[in-house]
């Protein structure tokens, strides 16, 4: 069947270019992982060696022409690296949030002790009182637990073990002293608030995320939280906490979105650099200064640029490959034909062995599918001669497929009409040119 047909073209060179592009993205993903570990102060030589080994395996697959394995496995590896960064961040975020919760509990415990000391009319040594104040303010650098236990010792003096006389016991009973044998832990259990405001836990989690995503604004939220914690009017404190929680939620989401956009942009730029002939006019160092909207627009523009570059490369490989093989089959191929095909989206090629006839290719090569058909340059119609030409083209098409397959390319027939089912398309060719004028309509 060598009437008009639709074929699917894929070249070895374009597949290699695709693999090299996604490997460039993988290299950037590895750089992102290493940079993230550095920022998180994490050292994992075993995991890093696994990454290196996997990268070397992909080089081996490329050398062995296992292109489908590369296209299938590399995106998975990139996602795994990105997921590993997120998992490690989450572990640190959970730890930081727990530390913040414990620190807040310690400050609350210190305040409970100060209140209890004041209620009993007791006085602490100045140095100990200063340490307790520093704990409440979150500025103490030593062991807060040791200080709190020491203060508790003043609140609940160690019970006398010797036998008291009735008079001594009466005096002791008249003193405003807690004579119980309860421990500091027991005392806290009794006096701590049973239910803490859940907003504090939410704020702690957001602050822990912000500490990793955007340290520039982290301290401003800490200052706002300190003010809210010391606010004694409950209604006012509620307003402050709600405001902090709302702003924190928005800031954290924006920071995470920015991180995702930057990571995606870096991967796209890495592939663009690998494929582009001319240097990219992009300053990666300035990416951090862009707003989220600007980053989003830049990502979209770079994606479109990558598609354009990839299509150009793909079309070039396909056109070069087809024209080279057609030249081997005896067709007249000139140096300007590739440019003409790109410009017009169609091309007509003559074969000196069949004067008055040629082959027409219609469609942009980057779209994979191209319409191919025999055409006639003369107005005089000879149906038998037309069938003979289509039969000859059938033989040439089979040779073309075989040559392409031998060098790792493919020309797959997707649709074809039988010889003679439709009249050969007549075109008028200008002298020494591939520019043509149609005299009949397309059949596909």
Contact indicator for 348, 334 with CB cutoff of 8 Å: no
Low-confidence ranges of the chain (pLDDT < 50): 159-164, 168, 171-172, 175-177, 430-444
Q: What integer pLDDT is reported at residue 177 of this predicted model?
A: 47
Q: What integer pLDDT is reported at residue 174 of this predicted model?
A: 52
Contacts of 427 (CB under 8 A, 6+ apart): 348, 358, 360, 375, 376, 377, 436, 437, 438, 439
Parse the chain into domains and list their residue ranges.
5-9+331-438
What is the residue-wise DSSP string for 26-83? HHHHHHHHHHHHHHTT---HHHHHHHHHHHHHHHHHHHTT-HHHHHHHHHHHHHHHHH
Q: What integer pLDDT is reported at residue 441 of this predicted model?
A: 34
Q: What integer pLDDT is reported at residue 431 of this predicted model?
A: 46
Q: What integer pLDDT is reported at residue 363 of this predicted model?
A: 83
Q: What integer pLDDT is reported at residue 123 of this predicted model?
A: 85
Element (H, E) at 305: helix 292-328
Q: What integer pLDDT is reported at residue 70 of this predicted model?
A: 98
- State pTM to two decimals: 0.80
Q: What integer pLDDT is reported at residue 139 of this predicted model?
A: 82
Q: What integer pLDDT is reported at residue 5 of this predicted model?
A: 86
Alpha-carbon torsion angle 209, 206, 193, 125, nearest 10: 60
State how far the alpha carbon of 322 is from the alpha carbons of 10, 240, 293, 331, 342, in Å: 10, 71, 43, 11, 14
């Amino acid at each position: 069947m060598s009437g008009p047909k639709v074929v699917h073209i894929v070249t070895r060179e374009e597949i290699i270019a695709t693999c090299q592009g996604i490997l460039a993205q993988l290299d950037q993903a590895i750089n992102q992982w290493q940079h993230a570990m550095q920022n998180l102060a994490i050292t994992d030589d075993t995991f890093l060696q696994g990454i290196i080994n996997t990268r070397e395996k992909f080089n081996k697959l490329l050398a062995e022409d296992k292109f489908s394995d590369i296209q299938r496995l590399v995106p998975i590896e990139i996602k795994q690296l990105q997921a590993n960064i997120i998992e490690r961040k989450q572990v640190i975020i959970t730890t930081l949030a727990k530390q913040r919760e414990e620190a807040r509990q310690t400050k609350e415990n210190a305040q409970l002790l100060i209140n209890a000391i004041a209620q009993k009319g007791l006085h602490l040594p100045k140095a100990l009182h200063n340490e307790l104040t520093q704990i409440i303010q979150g500025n103490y650098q030593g062991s807060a637990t040791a200080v709190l236990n020491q203060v508790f010792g003043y609140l609940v003096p160690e019970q006398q073990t010797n036998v008291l006389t009735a008079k001594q016991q009466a005096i002791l009973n008249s003193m405003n002293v807690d004579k119980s044998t309860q421990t500091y832990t027991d005392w806290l259990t009794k006096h701590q608030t049973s239910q803490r405001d859940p907003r504090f836990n939410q704020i702690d989690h957001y602050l822990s995320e912000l500490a990793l995503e955007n340290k520039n604004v982290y301290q401003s939220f800490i200052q706002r939280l300190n003010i809210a914690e010391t606010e004694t009017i409950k209604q006012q404190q509620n307003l402050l906490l709600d405001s902090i929680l709302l702003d924190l939620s928005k800031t954290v989401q924006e920071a995470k979105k920015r991180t995702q956009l930057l990571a995606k942009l870096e991967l796209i730029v890495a592939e663009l650099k690998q494929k582009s002939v001319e240097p990219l006019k992009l300053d990666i160092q300035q990416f951090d200064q862009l707003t989220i909207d600007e980053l989003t627009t830049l990502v979209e523009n770079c994606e479109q640029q990558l598609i354009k570059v990839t299509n150009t490369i793909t079309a070039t490989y396909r056109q070069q490959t087809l024209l080279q093989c057609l030249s081997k089959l005896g067709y007249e191929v000139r140096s300007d034909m590739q440019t003409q095909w790109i410009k017009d989206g169609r091309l007509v090629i003559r074969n000196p062995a069949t004067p008055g006839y040629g082959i027409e290719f219609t469609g942009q090569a980057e779209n994979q599918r191209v319409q191919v058909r025999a055409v006639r340059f003369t107005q005089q119609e000879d149906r038998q001669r037309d069938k003979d030409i289509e039969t000859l083209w059938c033989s040439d098409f089979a040779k073309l497929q075989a040559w392409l397959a031998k060098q790792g390319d493919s020309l797959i027939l997707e649709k074809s009409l039988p010889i003679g089912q439709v009249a050969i398309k007549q075109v008028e060719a200008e002298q020494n040119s591939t520019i043509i004028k149609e005299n009949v309509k397309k059949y596909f």
